[in-house]
Amino acid sequence: MSINRLVRSNLTTQLGSCIKYVAASRSSQERLFSAPSIARVYGTSATLQSEDGFKGHDMLAPFTSGSLSSDVHPLLIERSEGSYVYDINGKKYLDALAGLWCTALGGNEPRLVEAATRQLNTLPFYHSFWNRTTRPSLDLAKDLLETFTATKMAKAFFTNSGSEANDTQVKLVWYYNNALGRPDKKKFIARHKSYHGSTLISASLSGLPALHQKFDLPAPFVLHTDCPHYWRYHQPGETEEEFSTRLANNLENLILKEGPETIAAFIAEPVMGAGGVIPPPATYFEKIQAVVKKYDILFIADEVICAFGRLGYMYGCDKYNIKPDLVSLAKALSSAYMPIGAVLVSPKISDVIHSQSSKLGSFSHGFTYSGHPVACAVAIEALKIYKERNIVEQVKSIAPQFQDGIKAYSDSPIIGEIRGTGLILGTEFTDNKSPNDFFPPEWGIGAYFGAQCEKHGMLVRVSGDTIMMSPPFIMTPSEVDELISKYGKALKATEERVKELKSLQK
């Protein structure tokens, strides 16, 4: 049997099982994490690996189906360089997602490697419990408080991830309200299609059904309000401002229904990331903040994806004039070279924590690796680089080329909407350019597009029939041109695929 016939045979067998899996899902949200299965099947690089490859490996892989792990070789990335990663076969890919929205400074920034090495050679670990800590932990806390200028923050608490940061937010808010004698003020309001992490509490905050199914989530103290996606959810003739007013009114009605005395906090990403790259409509945050302030509800800004320059501002709060009480950070905090997250705490909350913990004798929350000295040393160096190289201005200068270049494809008959700002962008595939005309799920259009990108040497995020990109901040104009070109090639192939599938329906 020739290699081409062998590949086709493998693809046919694997595609059958994947189509059954995706078709069984009832909505695009429920298919959120299933699309990569089809993407790996449509792509040939993994399939062409030798039979002694890595399928059926020993790792329980995150956001990956068991059948995919057992039946299909994973794409193994071996090294990185700038805006590119390389697989074990030496194939080069433009990393248009910056890992998972995180490798802001690319794949081989020597200063970050040197910072980690220096700290490993000096003090590879010490904790921050019981008033013992390390210099990098204290220095990073100070640096973060200085960089965040949307409103004053008083303290920084360190975690290992954005999920842990958002878990911590809930505990801090409960601790705060208990200390103030408000034991009933415990509920959180998040938004449909939001993503805040995958731990028990952060997954509950997330507004994506795939994170809840079979996990007995969300927790009962979490409520979800409208997704602020204007293109998909606005009423006929409704302007963005009117849409924002309606959503703010709906939020207020939800608060009144539940009882303002029971609502503790509202959490939001400045730009929704994993839910499909959804920037807020005009006046949205202005109106939402007015509602939560009216009812003494804390505002938590989840800046895990947006912070440190992604939107062309140091923080998403700067771009949208958000004045939060608490902030969650991770990802670009260390350019993902070391796992680290953080929570920024406003004075009114930190003062209460200080008083209450003094009464109790301890603030009994933290992690073994909170403020890990190596992670903090890398993050300190990343912040220095962002400042010295004026990364925010660099993003602002390259973003129009990126946004305009991709949005030039908006007239494609299979694209419903292309949306984004700065260096984050989403493409949603729909039929007839309508938010309500979905392609049949078994067609796997988004996954096919993602596989075509991989074929041409580019990695993107596939989420149902939505494609997301958030490239490294260091991309050059020529790399942006390359990204746009590969996107165009993948789009052309996907348009042909849709034509072929439609012809089979006749």
Give the H/E segment covering residue 382: helix 373-388
Helical ranges in 295-336 per DSSP H: 316-320
Distance, CA of 137 to CA of 14 (rounded, Å): 48
Could you tell me how far CA 385 lies from the centroid of its own chain?
22
Phi-psi category of 409—alpha, beta or left, where left has phi over 0 and alpha has psi -120 to 50?
alpha
pLDDT band for position 52 (50/70/90)? low
Q: Is 458 helix (H, G, I), strand (E, B) or coil?
A: strand
Report the percent of the chain where pLDDT is more than 70.
90
Q: Is 335 helix (H, G, I), strand (E, B) or coil?
A: coil
Report pLDDT digits (tens) over 231-271: 999 999 999 999 999 999 999 999 999 999 999 999 999 99
Q: Is 77 helix (H, G, I), strand (E, B) or coil?
A: strand
Distance, CA of 190 to CA of 168 (rounded, Å): 15
Report pLDDT digits (tens) over 335-362: 999 999 999 999 999 999 999 999 999 9
Distance, CA of 501 to CA of 378 (rounded, Å): 49
Within 8 A by CB and 6+ apart from 41, the residues are: 11, 14, 15, 18, 47, 72, 451
Among residues 263, 258, 250, 253, the alpha carbon closest in space to that of 188 is found at 263
A 10 A CB-CB count for 363 gives 14
Report pLDDT digits (tens) over 412-421: 999 999 999 9
Within 8 A by CB and 6+ apart from 146, the residues are: none
Distance, CA of 16 to CA of 3 (rounded, Å): 20
Q: What is the pLDDT of residue 505?
A: 85
Distance, CA of 469 to CA of 449 (rounded, Å): 13
Cis peptide before 440 (omega within 30 of 0): no
Tokens representing 398 are 């390259």
Is pLDDT at 33 greater than 70 in this prediction? Answer: no
pLDDT band for position 118 (50/70/90)? very high
Do β-strands 263-268 and 466-469 pair in parallel, antiparallel, or remain unpaired?
A: unpaired
Report pLDDT digits (tens) over 301-327: 999 999 999 999 999 999 999 999 999
Among residues 38, 7, 13, the alpha carbon closest in space to that of 440 is found at 38
Lowest mean pLDDT among 41-55, 74-88, 210-224: 41-55
Q: Name the more confident of 6 and 280.
A: 280
Contact between 357 and 130 (Cβ < 8 Å)? no
Report pLDDT digits (tens) over 64-89: 999 988 998 999 999 999 999 999 99
Tokens representing 296 are 């003494």
Contact between 272 and 195 (Cβ < 8 Å)? yes
Q: Which amino acid is at 215?
A: F
Q: Name the more confident of 15 and 337.
A: 337
Task: Please calculate the CA angle 87-445-310 and round it to the nearest 5 degrees.
Answer: 60
Tokens representing 431 are 């039929």
Distance, CA of 97 to CA of 472 (rounded, Å): 7
Report pLDDT digits (tens) over 375-414: 999 999 999 999 999 999 999 999 999 999 999 999 999 9
Report pLDDT digits (tens) over 162-193: 999 999 999 999 999 999 999 999 999 999 99
CA distances from 43 to 19, 293, 459, 490 (A): 15, 50, 11, 12
Q: Around 7, how many Cα atoms within 13 Å sit in the side-chain half-sphere?
A: 14
Among residues 296, 291, 288, 349, the alpha carbon closest in space to that of 320 is found at 288
Report the percent of the chain where pLDDT is more than 90.
87
